[in-house]
Amino acid sequence: MSQTQFLDTSGITFNSVDVKDSVAIFSTSTRTDGSYLGGWIVDNKSSDNKTLYFSNDYNGTVTNNLVYVIGNEKRNDNCTGGVAVADFDHKDGTYEIGDDGTTLLKLRYDRYLVGKTIALYANSYQDKRVGVSMKRILWGTGVTSDAKSCDNSNGSSKMTCYLQFTLKLNVGNNFTMQNTNIGGYTIECKDGNYVINTTGTTYKTDCNGHVELNITVDAGATCRANWNNAVAYEY
């Protein structure tokens, strides 16, 4: 068993943590040493689930007040009943670190992960262990949608329209945007204006990529809406 130990003195236990899960430790204004930042792989844990043991050695001093997350490269996919996966690959055929201390990596992920927040980390062991972690939102490649109209051009009073849209990611296979908080619709009206109604309006796609707008338009007005260039919200 590794002698590198990790515990949370606030009383948190690690009941749901599995062997091979990763602990990503983030830098703060007071915690900046690369010897403990970055990612650590869980090798084992204590019988009371209060202590994790890492597979790599840490040779520094005991450090407290660390900011961290624990997880792995998989997330439950509520749309398929399976798991969605993200992974790294080298961008230019190598993981070589340049003179400026950086390297380029390519991140691949399933469409279900668009709009989700992930933790990324990288470690180097060339001379000594140096790690770095960061939080990022997976924005995807942009969104397009069908357009819908609420035509009240011949009406003498206000009209309410329930509009359902299908949002698709801008990728070759035209995948729908699944289970994602979304914002950025566009509505253009002629000869009047509109009001968004809270009831019946959703800002999160379902497993078919659907979102809804419930709008009321003025008498004599025609409004046309779409979600092109919409963006995913973090969660």
Low pLDDT (below 50) residues in the chain? 1-2
| C-alpha torsion angle, residues 69, 71, 73, 74 (rounded to 10) | -130
What is the model's pLDDT at position 101? 74
What is the model's pLDDT at position 230? 82
What is the model's pLDDT at position 234? 66
Q: Summarize pLDDT for 106-157 with one digit per residue, the tens.
A: 888 888 998 888 999 988 887 889 999 999 888 887 888 999 999 999 999 9
What is the model's pLDDT at position 174? 75
Residues 6+ apart with CB under 8 A from 6: 23, 40, 51, 52, 53, 54
